[in-house]
Structure 1
């Protein structure tokens, strides 16, 4: 039994199949994303979605979809599926699906009369090319396949509509054509590994709708351009490979390339392997630069997400080289920032006040997975420079006060991971002494003090330890309240009593200003008020403003984003904290909660974890279909658990 297989009953029921999506990436920023029935439901969906750097910093949908038609005895059976106005779906090709299997690569099996056709898709690594292999498993008479490409040539943020400016020209290339709809775009090469006929029949398919955009209160329909169709005969047992890319390829290489790429894939035959496969998809290599994308389909490389997710995406899956490769680019971006130089690397939001502290945390995880000595040799200078930058008060929104705590202004702009804004203002205006910023600060002081002391720099170590003593004492005085939990932020006489997950980091980190009894009180209240099977709620149901359902138009979602929704990534720190307090006796509890995430492997984005969940049952997955920090933190906890289970 395949781990990721869906039968006919589920596939032909659009209520069940349309919410399930698949994502494949080339590890260089391009991707293919759609539903498991190949019906696009988002403007971000497409067969070939790529960055076009000379146009802008966005991804662009070149090839939206490819409709296949099986022809026998003059009868045509179209396997495509699009949504049009009034809940009208056409041509209803999903009714021919017998099963969909996504364990190795996405594979759909169709049955049309006596014809059994298998379709498999693969995205070539580090190349803007998708390959689709069609195998005629069974047929009792002569069979022809017709392929009709739907072209968009637009940013993922926009739509295309019928217009006279679209270029309809095409040129023949070996076993296919090349075309380009608008200036500035690369040419799109569509080729098959077998000789075929291309029939030029230009037309616009009008009024295609994207219900996921409609749900979010956005425009949701567009027109797609079809230049014509390819026809090719196929015999029983034969495989034909279709290629769409921005460069020409030798048709003779297509089968070999397809098979080589298949060999390079991690089978998704378990919860762990699904997460490993998903982890690999966030990598984005651009020449000598190596980034981690925050999520698909719309996120770029955000600094905070990069540092929080890096240990889980690399070290937790024993890919130390990948960690170091990403850090090569990240360190350059950090140095540009702390030296006040113009940013030339595409690591965004580097100036948020907690980012450098999360970078220290990420390097701390590297030290734990390799050795402190190795961390010191590779990153010791960087760690000291970051620490000097913060202590010298050079950050324009991170102020070290006499009480040893770090202060940041978050009234005008959202400055932490709880970064939702509405009408230009933070929905959750966390400002002043922010709890996780100061947890990170205390942890950083102790970690770097220990690291430099081992290197013989006793003077700096003593300075940092003395600073940590002051910081730790103030932390307990400022943040701990009489109810036994931690204020989310404190600004003068303003103390935020909201019960939020940000206090859990103080319990999870290696160095904490809290004693064991205080840690247990924090853990208990988080368990009682924030824990769900899908992550930690961003706000307790008992706190004012609780808004657990991430639904409706975008503004409505913005107000719910961190006001009660549940996020998996803080759950990683919660589980780490739980194991710190309960040690071996906590293992079965943590394992039990991980089951809630394994259930997600067959829903939302197959084999990955979405950005967030509703905070109330049934805890539906919402937001970006695949989110780096969530995948990373569950992988990190699985690695941590494996050490307890030795």
Structure 2
């Protein structure tokens, strides 16, 4: 990616690398920070949660022929300073972030890497020019929860204990220590606050947008051509320069294997990107999935949906089994956790109606992919207990109606994926029988019966009766006069006529109660009203509640979240339905690949580089919004490519 003083472009594009613990390093291509979530070491102290920013950024200067050339960049209220973009010539996001800076008679390459399963960031500067240069590096520190900005205060004094080529720092008394080390050069203590750095994205989001950083000192080093300096920032002690160099070399090799597959195409780049979401959860000592970067943790619903593409379809049985085992162990009153708490002393949350039902779909696809009958046998009793708990009634008034439908919800509680809530008010209240919940319920029953047949278990007649009632009543209650589906019904009482994307699940899930003609009517309506190249709208544009743009403060954003906003992850379900209805011929595969071109371009050159955003505007979806890297956004497209081998006909044009 070439740059020629394109300030706005480079300050808007973001990069991210992760460490498999929930920690990460991220920033803008320009080197400035535009979010409170940006930093060069955001460490997960209780993986994958309790994330804190320790190392915010680094100010770099090249000295040659008695002239300084600043490489860094910061946004202040009245100006951008320094303007290192004047020297930025190229940036590459993989296999790790790499910058090339160049002046009239000097060239410097900068790399940022994170070893896996460590809260450590390594930064390398190499003289790739023909003349000797002096490099001056000023690390800037922070000490704050990653959801917040950092401000100068009397508590933090950044007390440091110095050794040769390293020092240990306590931001304040009793705090988690962190370590700074370098393999060559001289450190000079020179303490100072960098005040009122402006965070442009936080301002757009109506959040605190000014932050302070702290400098303890700086490292100077003379580099001859082809020489390099490596710095390490970690919550784990690293003191020997040889250890830093060895760790850097190993991390380069690991990163090339982890992020840069041998074949250069969209599918393999997606596959590499998808690995950023797989993390180790300390409290359960198992694999988990981060829902999105920068700010989400691991959620039950997101995990069940995303793992279908991130681990199952791509053949990672070990990770798939680890994730499924963990959630199966935490079933309570027939429900899966919606969220494991950030603090291990807090209670696990169970406020979700659909995560448990998605478990059945994930298990079905797991069995289809790996034929692990033993695992199904081991957990069949848990699956039966889940279904029975729903029949008997469980939390939040979740129960089965006489029509065989699954009902749930109570005032002030968000249970479905359309879960935005502002000041205690649920924006899209869906108390009753939501359409996607009921298709998931039907699939859960059918999948359990399928497992029983494969395992030669006796079928549960009560479950069979519910299936029969459901099949008899679904069309009568859910199909409207247009031949499409109501979003939420309360049998014999009310029906929500909002035309929403939730009805796609009546077509895309393994089992359906609709005939092909009914399905095609719904699909064509979805295509006409909700499809965009970046995802499906959550509400039709002609609805009075439709909100065209996702922007502003949290109140405005949450009101728009499911009121027309486009979600990329729904494209996976849309094209699964397309292939089921119209066949997966070569022609249809080419059509899908062609229709994904704009999303593919977004992946490579917009917003988060080698990322797929969480959402897009409903009216004119162009720029990514929300998280820059969302698990189920990436997973849904990855699953399409894996399931239908779309990479075999992908033109690779961006």
TM-score by length of 1: 0.94
Are the aligned partners of 1:473 and 1:513 in contact in 2 as well (CA < 8 Å)? no
Q: For 2:615, which of 601, 609, 612 is the aligned residue?
A: 612
Partners of 1:609 and 1:328 in 2: CA distance:
28
Equivalent in the alignment of 1:427: 427
Distance 1:20 1:284 in 2: 25
* Distance in 2 of aligned mates of 1:581 and 1:48: 47
SS at match of 2:94: coil
Cα distance in 1 between the residues matched to 2:246 and 2:507: 52
Distance 2:598 2:431 in 1: 33
**1:17 counterpart (5, 10, 14):** 10
- 1:23 and 1:643 map into 2 onto residues whose CA distance is 26
Structural RMSD (CA): 2.2
Correspondent of 1:634 among 632, 637, 642: 637
1:364-379 alignment runs, 5 A limit: 364-371=364-371, 373-379=373-379
SS at match of 1:389: helix
Runs of 4+ in 1 over 6 A off after TM superposition: 342-348, 643-646
CA deviations on 1:501-553 (whole Å, 9 max, x unpaired) are: 00000101111111111111111110110000000000001222111211122
Asked whether the equivalents of residues 303 and 348 of structure 1 are also in contact (C-alpha less than 8 Å), the reply is: no
Q: 2:323 aligns with which of 318, 323, 326?
A: 326
| Aligned residue in 1 for 2:136 | 146
Q: Which residue of 2 aligns with 1:44?
A: 37
- Partner of 1:449 in structure 2? 449
How far off is 1:93 after superposition? 0.9
Q: Is the 8 A contact 1:438 1:475 kept in 2?
A: no
Instruction: State whether residues 191 and 217 of structure 2, in contact with CA within 8 Å, keep that contact through their aligned partners in structure 1.
Output: yes
Instruction: Give secondary structure in 1 for the equivalent of 2:249.
Output: helix
* C-alpha distance 338-432 of structure 1, shift in aligned 2 (>3 A): closer
Match of 2:297 in 1: 300
Q: Which residue of 1 aligns with 2:572?
A: 572
How does the TM-score come out when normalised to structure 2?
A: 0.93
- Counterpart Cα distance in 2 of 1:284 and 1:266: 15
Query: Map of 1:394-413 to 2, 5 A cutoff?
Result: 394-413=394-413
List aligned pairs for 1:177-196, cutoff 5 A. Answer: 177-194=167-184, 196=185
In 1: Cα distance, 2:39 partner to 2:312 partner: 32
SS at the partner of 1:334? Answer: coil
Does the 8 A contact of 1:72 with 1:143 survive in 2?
Answer: yes
Distance 1:375 1:597, change over 3 A: farther
Deviation of 1:435 after TM superposition, in Å, equals: 0.3
Residue 255 (structure 1) aligns with: 245
Alpha-carbon deviation of 1:383? 2.0
Distance in 1 between the 2:26 and 2:163 partners? 27
Matched with 1:208 is 197
Asked if the contact 1:333–1:343 (Cα under 8 Å) also holds between the matched residues in 2, the reply is no
Structure 1: tracts of 5 or more residues without a match: 1-5
SS of 1:577's equivalent in the other structure is helix
Alignment of 1:202-601 (within 5 A): 202-249=191-238, 250-264=240-254, 265-267=258-260, 269-287=264-282, 288-335=285-332, 338=335, 349-371=349-371, 373-460=373-460, 462-491=461-490, 492-585=492-585, 586-601=588-603
CA 1:313–1:348: 2 relative to 1, 3 Å: farther
In the TM superposition, residue 336 of structure 1 has moved relative to its aligned partner by 8.1
Distance 1:336 1:63, change over 3 A: farther
Q: What SS does the corresponding residue of 2:387 show, helix, strand or coil?
A: helix
Show the counterpart of 1:64: 56
Over 3 Å counting, the alpha-carbon distance change for 1:529 and 1:144 in structure 2 is same
Query: What CA distance in whole angstroms lies between the structure 1 residues aligned with 2:646 and 2:267?
Result: 15
TM-superposed CA distance for 1:184, in Å, is: 4.5
- Runs of 5+ consecutive residues of structure 2 not aligned to the other structure: 650-654
Whole-angstrom CA distance in 1 between matches of 2:397 and 2:618: 32
Instruction: Please give the alpha-carbon distance, in whole angstroms, between the structure 2 residues aligned to 1:639 and 1:575.
Output: 13
Q: Kindly state the Cα deviation for residue 282 of structure 1 after the two structures are TM-superposed.
A: 1.0
Q: Residues of 1 paired with 2:41 and 2:446: CA distance? A: 48
Structure 1 pair 465–385 and aligned structure 2 pair: CA distance change class (3 A): same
Residue 102 of structure 2: SS of its match in structure 1?
strand
Check the 8 A contact 2:589/2:646 in 1, yes or no: no
Q: Using a 3 Å threshold, how does the CA distance of structure 1 residues 562 and 227 change in structure 2: closer, same or farther?
A: same
The Cα offsets for residues 356-389 of structure 1, whole Å up to 9 and x where unpaired, read as 1011111111011112635523532332222222
8 Å Cα contact 2:73/2:83 also seen in 1: yes
Q: Distance in 2 between matches of 1:393 and 1:256?
A: 58
| Aligned residue-pair number | 633
